[in-house]
Structure 1
Amino acid sequence: MAEARPLRLVLIGWGAIATRVAALLSERGTPARVVAVALRNGSVPRTPLPPGAVLIDDPAALSDLSPDLVLEAAGREALRQWAGAALDAAPRLVVASTSALADDAFREALIAHAVRARSRIEITPGAIGGIDALRAASVLPVESVRHTIAKPPTAWAGTPGEAILADAPPGAVTLFRGSAREAARLYPQNANATATTALAGIGLDRTEVEIVSDPALSRNRHVIEIDGAAGRMRVDLENAPSASNPKSSELTALSLVRAVENAVLPLCL
């Protein structure tokens, strides 16, 4: 019997996360082939693209590629640029930059676009765990969800936290307390995980977020506390940071790899 053709995959972005995803898919022998990498117009890849992949900078080019899955790992502005064309061209769009979905108007327009295109938007757990339990618990009333992120000081370079740390005494410093919506606005790269928690549970305005810089940490820590009719739950993770981007956890790339593999393997977990 002839082997099924590999899944045709388009990656939006070619930074730390996307390159790691492509490398892991190749190492694991996943039956998926990167047919294109999408970048902003005029951008030049810093590292070679996967064998056989083409570089595209125009969303209209997606339709000619007939992708089975488009995977975004490039930030919320890239999602805004490419998402509509991706939904038109492919039956599945996997989103890493969930902070973009904190914009209600954009999120609802994207959902409506997916319905018209008969496509699907998929959000992976990314750097966190327990999303399946939170989704299940949300079938019944949930009273509160609190998500605390703590990372080493290097993770906050180029964020509003950098200025706070410049004048802060040594030790752990709370950089932010507030809603998941505001966290996603101020810390889009670091707080994608809190947007995911909020969308899975009680929403962007009711989900409480605390962001901490802690020099005692060498890993990125996420603590998610849920209280509701289904019970009390606490998820505590200490993730290795990405080797090339301390703002992101290695688990983020691994979660995207699993999303691709779930699209091609006969048993999905």
Structure 2
Amino acid sequence: MSGSDLRVVLVGWGAIGARVAGLLAARASPVRIVAVGVRDTGAKRQGLPPDTRLIAGPEALEGIEADLLVEAAGRAALRPWAMAALARGWDLAIASTSALTDADLLADLRDQAKATGAQILIPPGALGGIDALAAASRLNMDMVRHEIVKPARAWAGTAAEEVCDLAALTAPLTFFEGSARQAADRFPQNANVAVISAMAGIGLDRTMVALTADPGATMNRHSITARGDFGTMTITLENRPLAGNPKSSELTALSLLRLIENRAGGLVI
């Protein structure tokens, strides 16, 4: 690695973090992962980049030089790692966007970023067209609706099991309709992405979200409909589930990869 490589601290070595690191290595991206934050530094980790430090908490960031911290460890990990990174003037990329339903946390992060001149970066996750939605929101926008359809098994272990028998479904069932804030707060692993469409558009409380379990689905489908002074748009994506984590999509890891490579490159698209 050259001295000009983007220096990254990656927090989390689950399906998303490991996939992002693997893709960066495979693509020979000008990025150096200088440290990986995990809860247990004694556990075996497959595929770690060479010469990467394993650290157990944000206090271990002392003495590490980095440009960007990428959080992919779950909403509970966000505050301590994010505040530590922003305090050092590092930019911050957030994968666990469901944590931003906490208005106090979001305000604290923005205040810290302003104080040190750092940037908070929200990748589009499993979505496309977020640039168009964010541009359209510069004028009056009447409505945004985000529908999320995933295979029934992808909702296992979530609050969806409180309202339906996922294993017994024979047809698609929409088991939740409400605001993006409610969806992401109640289903943080599956509806994390609703925070992204909400923040790009008309906010967490005005963006409406519908969640559906489909026993016949093999992909994770997102459909966003928006209407406003700009006109109307409908964006639909069908994403392959991420290997090792059917609650997320391959595109979630790819969007983080793109964000990191954009920070490292001279040309940004």
Q: Quick one: distance in 2 between partners of 1:175 and 1:18?
A: 30
Q: SS where residue 195 of structure 1 aligns? A: helix
Query: Alpha-carbon deviation of 1:192?
Result: 1.4
How far apart are residue 40 of structure 1 and its match?
Answer: 2.5
SS at match of 2:148: strand
Letter in 2 for 1:33: R
What letter corresponds to residue 192 of structure 1 in structure 2?
Answer: N
Question: Structure 1 regions of 5+ residues with no counterpart?
Answer: none
In structure 2, the CA distance between the partners of 1:45 and 1:103, relative to structure 1 (3 Å rule), is: farther
- Do 2:89 and 2:117's aligned partners in 1 also have CA atoms closer than 8 Å? no
Asked if the contact 2:22/2:47 (under 8 Å) is kept, the reply is no
- Alignment partner, residue 200 of structure 2: 200
State the partner residue of 1:265: 265
1:109 aligns with 2:108: yes
Moved over 6 A (4+): none
Aligned equivalent of 2:22: 23
1:59-70 equivalences in 2 (<5 Å): 59-70=58-69
Residue 42 of structure 1: CA displacement? Answer: 6.3
What's the TM-score, normalizing by structure 1? 0.95
> Partner amino acid for 1:62?
L
AA aligned to 1:162 is E
Paired position in structure 1 for 2:211:
211
Residues 106-163 of structure 1 show CA distances to partners (whole Å, capped at 9, x for unaligned) of: 1011100111122110000010011101111011000000000000011111101123
Report deviation, 1:25.
0.2
Equivalence for 2:180: 180
Q: Are 2:226 and 2:234, in contact at CA under 8 Å, matched by a contact in 1? A: yes
Change beyond 3 A, Cα 1:45–1:207: farther
Larger deviation, residues 55-64 vs 255-264: 55-64
**Secondary structure of the residue that 1:119 maps to in structure 2?**
coil
Aligned to 2:72: 73
Residue matched to 2:171: 171
- One-letter code of the match for 1:233? M
Q: Secondary structure at the match of 2:222?
A: strand
The equivalent residue for 1:240 is: 240
CA distance in structure 2 between the aligned counterparts of 1:69 and 1:17, rounded to whole angstroms? 17
8 Å CA contact retained: 1:66, 1:90:
no
TM-score normalized by the length of structure 2: 0.95
- For residues 46-78 of structure 1, give each alpha carbon's deviation from its aligned partner in whole angstroms, at most 9, with x where no partner exists: 424221111111212223111111101111101
Preserved contact between residue 151 and residue 219 of structure 1 (Cα < 8 Å): yes
* Partner residue in 2 for 1:57: 56
Match of residue 84 from structure 1: 83
Q: Structure 2 vs 1, CA of residues 52 and 90 (structure 1 numbering), >3 Å: closer, same or farther?
A: farther
Between the two proteins, the alignment pairs up a number of residues equal to 268
* Cα contact 2:101–2:195 (8 A) shared by 1: yes
Answer yes or no: is the 8 Å Cα contact 1:144–1:206 preserved in 2: yes
Please give the root-mean-square deviation of Cα atoms over the aligned residues, in Å. 1.6
Give unpaired runs (5+ residues) of structure 2.
none
